[in-house]
Structure 1
Amino acid sequence: MWKIGVITSSNSVYRGERENDCFPKLEGLLKQNLDAAVAEHRLSPDNIELLKENMIELVDRERVDLLITIGGTGLSPEDVTPEATELVIDRHVPGLAEEMRRSAMEHSRKVLLTRATVGTRGNALVINLPGSLPAMEWCFLAIVDQISSALGIIQGKSENIAK
Protein backbone atom coordinates (compact mmCIF):
# COMPACT_ATOMS: atom_id res chain seq x y z
CA MET A 1 0.00 0.00 0.00
CA TRP A 2 1.20 3.49 -0.81
CA LYS A 3 1.79 6.16 1.80
CA ILE A 4 -0.14 9.24 0.71
CA GLY A 5 0.17 12.88 1.74
CA VAL A 6 -2.27 15.63 0.76
CA ILE A 7 -1.91 19.40 0.98
CA THR A 8 -4.95 21.60 0.51
CA SER A 9 -3.81 25.02 -0.70
CA SER A 10 -6.48 27.66 -0.21
CA ASN A 11 -6.50 30.95 1.62
CA SER A 12 -10.23 30.74 2.29
CA VAL A 13 -10.10 27.15 3.59
CA TYR A 14 -6.99 27.94 5.66
CA ARG A 15 -8.78 30.91 7.28
CA GLY A 16 -11.92 28.81 7.90
CA GLU A 17 -14.06 30.89 5.56
CA ARG A 18 -14.88 28.00 3.26
CA GLU A 19 -15.36 24.28 3.81
CA ASN A 20 -12.68 21.94 2.47
CA ASP A 21 -15.10 19.91 0.38
CA CYS A 22 -12.45 18.49 -1.97
CA PHE A 23 -10.41 16.67 0.67
CA PRO A 24 -13.16 14.29 1.90
CA LYS A 25 -14.06 13.53 -1.73
CA LEU A 26 -10.40 12.80 -2.56
CA GLU A 27 -10.14 10.51 0.48
CA GLY A 28 -13.08 8.50 -0.83
CA LEU A 29 -11.63 8.36 -4.34
CA LEU A 30 -8.27 7.14 -3.02
CA LYS A 31 -9.94 4.41 -0.96
CA GLN A 32 -12.21 3.34 -3.80
CA ASN A 33 -9.64 3.42 -6.61
CA LEU A 34 -6.29 2.67 -4.92
CA ASP A 35 -7.45 0.98 -1.72
CA ALA A 36 -5.29 3.53 0.08
CA ALA A 37 -5.77 6.03 2.88
CA VAL A 38 -4.24 9.45 3.46
CA ALA A 39 -1.46 9.24 6.03
CA GLU A 40 -1.00 13.00 6.36
CA HIS A 41 -3.17 15.99 5.40
CA ARG A 42 -2.15 19.61 5.74
CA LEU A 43 -3.85 22.92 5.11
CA SER A 44 -1.75 25.71 3.67
CA PRO A 45 -2.43 29.27 2.62
CA ASP A 46 -1.59 30.13 -0.98
CA ASN A 47 2.05 30.91 -0.20
CA ILE A 48 4.93 29.56 -2.28
CA GLU A 49 7.38 29.19 0.61
CA LEU A 50 4.89 27.47 2.94
CA LEU A 51 3.73 25.13 0.19
CA LYS A 52 7.32 24.31 -0.73
CA GLU A 53 8.22 23.59 2.91
CA ASN A 54 5.17 21.34 3.36
CA MET A 55 5.90 19.44 0.14
CA ILE A 56 9.55 18.88 1.04
CA GLU A 57 8.66 17.80 4.56
CA LEU A 58 6.03 15.31 3.41
CA VAL A 59 8.24 13.74 0.75
CA ASP A 60 11.69 13.92 2.35
CA ARG A 61 10.89 13.54 6.05
CA GLU A 62 7.52 11.78 6.19
CA ARG A 63 8.46 9.62 3.19
CA VAL A 64 5.13 9.73 1.35
CA ASP A 65 5.07 7.83 -1.93
CA LEU A 66 2.34 9.99 -3.40
CA LEU A 67 1.87 13.68 -2.66
CA ILE A 68 -1.33 15.26 -3.93
CA THR A 69 -2.02 18.96 -3.70
CA ILE A 70 -5.54 20.32 -4.01
CA GLY A 71 -6.06 23.90 -5.12
CA GLY A 72 -3.98 26.87 -6.15
CA THR A 73 -3.70 25.79 -9.81
CA GLY A 74 -5.84 28.49 -11.44
CA LEU A 75 -5.09 31.87 -12.91
CA SER A 76 -5.68 34.18 -9.96
CA PRO A 77 -2.64 35.97 -8.51
CA GLU A 78 -3.05 33.88 -5.32
CA ASP A 79 -2.78 30.56 -7.20
CA VAL A 80 0.87 29.56 -6.70
CA THR A 81 0.81 25.77 -6.23
CA PRO A 82 2.42 25.01 -9.63
CA GLU A 83 5.19 27.51 -8.90
CA ALA A 84 5.87 25.87 -5.52
CA THR A 85 5.79 22.45 -7.16
CA GLU A 86 8.35 23.56 -9.77
CA LEU A 87 10.74 24.38 -6.92
CA VAL A 88 10.29 20.92 -5.41
CA ILE A 89 10.16 18.38 -8.23
CA ASP A 90 13.16 16.78 -9.94
CA ARG A 91 11.38 15.76 -13.14
CA HIS A 92 8.12 16.53 -14.93
CA VAL A 93 5.56 13.89 -15.91
CA PRO A 94 3.76 15.94 -18.57
CA GLY A 95 1.62 13.08 -19.90
CA LEU A 96 -0.34 12.83 -16.65
CA ALA A 97 -0.98 16.59 -16.46
CA GLU A 98 -1.98 16.64 -20.13
CA GLU A 99 -4.35 13.70 -19.65
CA MET A 100 -6.02 15.37 -16.67
CA ARG A 101 -6.86 18.40 -18.79
CA ARG A 102 -7.79 16.40 -21.90
CA SER A 103 -10.13 14.07 -20.06
CA ALA A 104 -11.71 16.75 -17.88
CA MET A 105 -12.50 18.81 -21.00
CA GLU A 106 -15.25 16.29 -21.72
CA HIS A 107 -17.06 17.90 -18.77
CA SER A 108 -15.97 21.54 -18.97
CA ARG A 109 -13.63 23.54 -21.16
CA LYS A 110 -12.77 25.69 -18.13
CA VAL A 111 -10.34 22.96 -17.08
CA LEU A 112 -8.04 24.42 -19.74
CA LEU A 113 -7.41 27.20 -17.22
CA THR A 114 -5.81 24.88 -14.68
CA ARG A 115 -2.01 24.98 -14.54
CA ALA A 116 -1.76 21.69 -12.63
CA THR A 117 1.67 20.06 -12.76
CA VAL A 118 2.76 16.47 -12.20
CA GLY A 119 6.31 15.44 -11.42
CA THR A 120 8.60 13.39 -9.25
CA ARG A 121 10.73 14.17 -6.23
CA GLY A 122 13.07 11.34 -5.45
CA ASN A 123 10.91 8.21 -5.27
CA ALA A 124 7.63 10.12 -4.86
CA LEU A 125 5.02 11.20 -7.37
CA VAL A 126 3.68 14.76 -6.91
CA ILE A 127 0.30 15.61 -8.44
CA ASN A 128 -1.43 19.01 -8.43
CA LEU A 129 -5.22 18.85 -8.61
CA PRO A 130 -7.58 21.81 -9.08
CA GLY A 131 -9.44 23.12 -6.04
CA SER A 132 -12.98 23.00 -7.42
CA LEU A 133 -14.84 19.84 -6.52
CA PRO A 134 -15.93 18.66 -9.93
CA ALA A 135 -12.59 19.51 -11.63
CA MET A 136 -10.59 17.83 -8.85
CA GLU A 137 -12.58 14.62 -9.29
CA TRP A 138 -12.44 14.69 -13.10
CA CYS A 139 -8.67 15.22 -13.10
CA PHE A 140 -7.98 12.55 -10.49
CA LEU A 141 -10.14 9.94 -12.22
CA ALA A 142 -8.43 10.71 -15.54
CA ILE A 143 -5.07 9.43 -14.26
CA VAL A 144 -5.80 7.17 -11.28
CA ASP A 145 -5.30 4.06 -13.41
CA GLN A 146 -1.66 5.10 -13.98
CA ILE A 147 -0.69 6.09 -10.43
CA SER A 148 0.31 2.63 -9.14
CA SER A 149 2.28 1.91 -12.33
CA ALA A 150 4.05 5.26 -12.11
CA LEU A 151 4.95 4.69 -8.46
CA GLY A 152 6.20 1.18 -9.20
CA ILE A 153 8.47 2.51 -11.94
CA ILE A 154 9.71 5.49 -9.89
CA GLN A 155 10.55 3.21 -6.99
CA GLY A 156 12.19 0.53 -9.18
CA LYS A 157 9.55 -2.09 -8.38
CA SER A 158 8.40 -2.55 -11.98
CA GLU A 159 9.72 -1.97 -15.46
CA ASN A 160 8.83 0.97 -17.66
CA ILE A 161 7.14 -1.04 -20.42
CA ALA A 162 4.43 0.54 -22.54
CA LYS A 163 1.39 -1.71 -22.90
Structure 2
Amino acid sequence: MENSAIKIGFITVSDRASRGEYEDLGGPAMQEWIAKALTSEWQPVARVIEDEQTLIESTLKELADQEGCCLILTTGGTGPAKRDVTPEATEAVCDKILDGFAEQMRAVSLQYVPTAILSRQIAGIRGESLIINLPGKPSAIGECLEAVFPAVPYCVDLIDGPYLETDESFVKAFRPKHAKKKA
Protein backbone atom coordinates (compact mmCIF):
# COMPACT_ATOMS: atom_id res chain seq x y z
CA MET A 1 0.00 0.00 0.00
CA GLU A 2 2.99 2.32 0.53
CA ASN A 3 3.44 2.67 -3.24
CA SER A 4 -0.03 4.20 -3.51
CA ALA A 5 0.87 7.02 -1.12
CA ILE A 6 0.87 10.50 -2.63
CA LYS A 7 4.45 11.68 -2.82
CA ILE A 8 5.47 15.30 -3.23
CA GLY A 9 9.06 16.22 -3.99
CA PHE A 10 10.88 19.22 -2.55
CA ILE A 11 14.25 20.26 -3.91
CA THR A 12 16.33 23.05 -2.43
CA VAL A 13 18.99 24.15 -4.90
CA SER A 14 21.74 25.90 -2.93
CA ASP A 15 25.49 25.45 -2.83
CA ARG A 16 25.73 26.81 0.73
CA ALA A 17 22.76 24.89 2.15
CA SER A 18 23.96 21.65 0.57
CA ARG A 19 27.31 22.10 2.34
CA GLY A 20 25.63 22.95 5.66
CA GLU A 21 26.93 26.54 5.62
CA TYR A 22 23.46 28.02 5.39
CA GLU A 23 20.16 26.90 6.92
CA ASP A 24 17.71 25.71 4.30
CA LEU A 25 14.65 27.90 4.81
CA GLY A 26 13.06 27.33 1.40
CA GLY A 27 12.57 23.57 1.66
CA PRO A 28 10.77 23.74 5.01
CA ALA A 29 8.69 26.72 3.78
CA MET A 30 7.47 24.70 0.77
CA GLN A 31 6.61 21.71 2.97
CA GLU A 32 4.78 23.84 5.54
CA TRP A 33 2.71 25.51 2.80
CA ILE A 34 1.74 22.17 1.23
CA ALA A 35 0.87 20.77 4.68
CA LYS A 36 -1.63 23.63 5.11
CA ALA A 37 -2.97 23.34 1.56
CA LEU A 38 -3.64 19.61 1.23
CA THR A 39 -6.12 17.48 3.14
CA SER A 40 -5.08 14.40 1.14
CA GLU A 41 -2.53 12.22 2.92
CA TRP A 42 0.90 12.73 1.39
CA GLN A 43 4.54 12.19 2.16
CA PRO A 44 7.48 14.47 1.40
CA VAL A 45 10.54 13.43 -0.55
CA ALA A 46 13.08 16.17 0.15
CA ARG A 47 16.54 16.88 -1.24
CA VAL A 48 19.06 19.68 -0.69
CA ILE A 49 21.51 19.84 -3.58
CA GLU A 50 24.19 22.04 -5.15
CA ASP A 51 23.61 24.47 -8.04
CA GLU A 52 24.83 22.03 -10.68
CA GLN A 53 22.67 21.51 -13.76
CA THR A 54 23.41 17.80 -14.17
CA LEU A 55 22.69 17.19 -10.45
CA ILE A 56 19.42 19.16 -10.62
CA GLU A 57 18.40 17.21 -13.73
CA SER A 58 19.20 13.83 -12.17
CA THR A 59 17.38 14.76 -8.94
CA LEU A 60 14.27 15.86 -10.86
CA LYS A 61 14.36 12.59 -12.81
CA GLU A 62 14.80 10.56 -9.61
CA LEU A 63 11.82 12.21 -7.89
CA ALA A 64 9.61 11.92 -10.98
CA ASP A 65 10.63 8.55 -12.40
CA GLN A 66 11.78 6.50 -9.39
CA GLU A 67 10.04 8.10 -6.40
CA GLY A 68 6.81 8.73 -8.33
CA CYS A 69 6.21 12.25 -7.02
CA CYS A 70 3.11 13.74 -8.65
CA LEU A 71 4.28 17.25 -7.75
CA ILE A 72 7.88 18.44 -7.45
CA LEU A 73 8.61 21.91 -6.08
CA THR A 74 12.04 23.47 -6.34
CA THR A 75 13.42 26.53 -4.60
CA GLY A 76 16.59 28.38 -5.53
CA GLY A 77 18.66 28.80 -8.64
CA THR A 78 16.13 30.84 -10.65
CA GLY A 79 17.87 34.22 -10.76
CA PRO A 80 20.25 35.72 -13.32
CA ALA A 81 23.50 34.74 -11.56
CA LYS A 82 25.92 32.42 -13.39
CA ARG A 83 25.28 29.56 -10.94
CA ASP A 84 21.46 29.84 -11.29
CA VAL A 85 20.55 26.95 -13.61
CA THR A 86 17.36 25.47 -12.13
CA PRO A 87 15.16 26.60 -15.07
CA GLU A 88 17.60 25.14 -17.59
CA ALA A 89 17.66 21.83 -15.73
CA THR A 90 13.87 21.80 -15.45
CA GLU A 91 13.39 22.52 -19.13
CA ALA A 92 15.89 19.79 -20.04
CA VAL A 93 13.90 17.07 -18.23
CA CYS A 94 10.34 18.18 -19.02
CA ASP A 95 8.12 16.85 -21.81
CA LYS A 96 6.05 20.06 -21.81
CA ILE A 97 6.58 23.55 -20.40
CA LEU A 98 3.57 25.30 -18.84
CA ASP A 99 4.28 29.00 -19.36
CA GLY A 100 1.21 30.19 -17.46
CA PHE A 101 2.71 29.19 -14.11
CA ALA A 102 5.79 31.37 -14.63
CA GLU A 103 3.73 34.27 -15.95
CA GLN A 104 1.41 34.19 -12.94
CA MET A 105 4.21 33.82 -10.39
CA ARG A 106 6.13 36.79 -11.79
CA ALA A 107 2.97 38.92 -12.00
CA VAL A 108 2.20 38.25 -8.33
CA SER A 109 5.81 38.73 -7.21
CA LEU A 110 6.00 42.08 -9.00
CA GLN A 111 3.33 43.37 -6.62
CA TYR A 112 5.88 42.94 -3.82
CA VAL A 113 9.32 43.61 -5.31
CA PRO A 114 10.50 45.18 -8.58
CA THR A 115 13.33 42.63 -8.79
CA ALA A 116 10.77 39.87 -9.45
CA ILE A 117 11.31 40.65 -13.13
CA LEU A 118 14.72 38.98 -12.74
CA SER A 119 13.13 35.67 -11.77
CA ARG A 120 13.36 32.93 -14.37
CA GLN A 121 11.33 30.20 -12.67
CA ILE A 122 9.35 27.88 -14.94
CA ALA A 123 7.00 24.91 -14.64
CA GLY A 124 6.57 21.79 -16.70
CA ILE A 125 5.47 18.19 -16.95
CA ARG A 126 7.65 15.10 -16.85
CA GLY A 127 5.55 11.98 -17.29
CA GLU A 128 3.02 12.04 -14.45
CA SER A 129 4.88 14.74 -12.49
CA LEU A 130 4.24 18.48 -12.39
CA ILE A 131 7.46 20.40 -11.67
CA ILE A 132 7.28 24.00 -10.45
CA ASN A 133 10.31 26.23 -9.81
CA LEU A 134 9.73 28.64 -6.93
CA PRO A 135 11.75 31.60 -5.64
CA GLY A 136 14.16 31.13 -2.74
CA LYS A 137 12.66 33.51 -0.17
CA PRO A 138 10.08 31.79 2.09
CA SER A 139 7.56 34.65 1.86
CA ALA A 140 7.85 34.65 -1.95
CA ILE A 141 7.36 30.86 -1.99
CA GLY A 142 4.03 31.34 -0.21
CA GLU A 143 2.95 34.20 -2.47
CA CYS A 144 3.74 32.21 -5.62
CA LEU A 145 2.10 29.00 -4.41
CA GLU A 146 -1.01 30.93 -3.40
CA ALA A 147 -1.17 32.34 -6.94
CA VAL A 148 -0.74 29.09 -8.89
CA PHE A 149 -1.86 26.29 -6.60
CA PRO A 150 -5.58 26.55 -7.44
CA ALA A 151 -4.65 25.05 -10.85
CA VAL A 152 -2.27 22.37 -9.50
CA PRO A 153 -4.75 19.62 -8.49
CA TYR A 154 -6.55 19.72 -11.85
CA CYS A 155 -3.21 19.73 -13.70
CA VAL A 156 -2.18 16.64 -11.70
CA ASP A 157 -5.55 15.06 -12.66
CA LEU A 158 -4.85 15.74 -16.34
CA ILE A 159 -1.45 14.00 -16.23
CA ASP A 160 -2.96 10.91 -14.54
CA GLY A 161 -1.68 11.72 -11.07
CA PRO A 162 -3.54 11.20 -7.78
CA TYR A 163 -6.57 13.25 -6.80
CA LEU A 164 -5.30 16.08 -4.57
CA GLU A 165 -7.82 17.53 -2.14
CA THR A 166 -7.26 20.95 -0.61
CA ASP A 167 -8.31 22.70 2.56
CA GLU A 168 -10.63 25.24 0.98
CA SER A 169 -10.22 27.61 3.92
CA PHE A 170 -6.54 27.91 2.92
CA VAL A 171 -6.56 27.46 -0.87
CA LYS A 172 -9.41 26.41 -3.12
CA ALA A 173 -8.55 24.11 -6.00
CA PHE A 174 -10.32 24.84 -9.27
CA ARG A 175 -11.66 21.96 -11.31
CA PRO A 176 -14.16 22.28 -14.16
CA LYS A 177 -17.65 21.07 -13.28
CA HIS A 178 -17.24 18.05 -15.56
CA ALA A 179 -14.10 16.88 -13.70
CA LYS A 180 -14.89 13.90 -11.51
CA LYS A 181 -13.11 12.61 -8.45
CA LYS A 182 -11.14 9.45 -9.12
CA ALA A 183 -12.37 6.32 -7.40
TM-score, length basis structure 1: 0.91
The answer to whether 1:70 aligns with 2:85 is: no
Question: Hey, what does 2:105 align to over in structure 1?
Answer: 100
Aligned partner of residue 136 in structure 2, secondary structure: coil
Larger Rg: 2
Q: CA deviation at 1:2?
A: 3.7
Q: Structure 1 vs Structure 2: percent identity of aligned residues? A: 35
Q: 1:103 to 1:162 in 2, by over 3 A?
A: farther
Q: CA deviation at 1:96?
A: 1.1
Aligned residues: 162
Cα-Cα RMSD? 2.1
Q: CA deviation at 1:39?
A: 2.3
Give runs of aligned pairs for residues 49-60 of structure 1, distance below 5 A. 49-60=54-65
Structure 2 unmatched ranges of 5 or more? 164-174, 179-183
The answer to whether 1:30 aligns with 2:68 is: no
Q: CA deviation at 1:143?
A: 0.6
Query: Which of 21, 34, 40 is residue 17 of structure 1 equivalent to?
Result: 21
Question: Hey, what does 1:46 align to over in structure 2?
Answer: 51
Structure 1 unmatched ranges of 5 or more? none
Aligned partner of residue 63 in structure 1, secondary structure: coil
Question: Hey, what does 1:79 align to over in structure 2?
Answer: 84
The answer to whether 1:141 aligns with 2:171 is: no
1:34-90 CA distance string (max 9 Å, x none)? 235442101110000111111101100111100111110001101010111111000
Which has the higher mean CA deviation after the structures are superposed, 34-43 or 107-116?
Answer: 34-43
Q: 1:67 to 1:157 in 2, by over 3 A?
A: closer
Please tell me the residue identity of whatever aligns with 1:56: K
Aligned partner of residue 6 in structure 1, secondary structure: strand
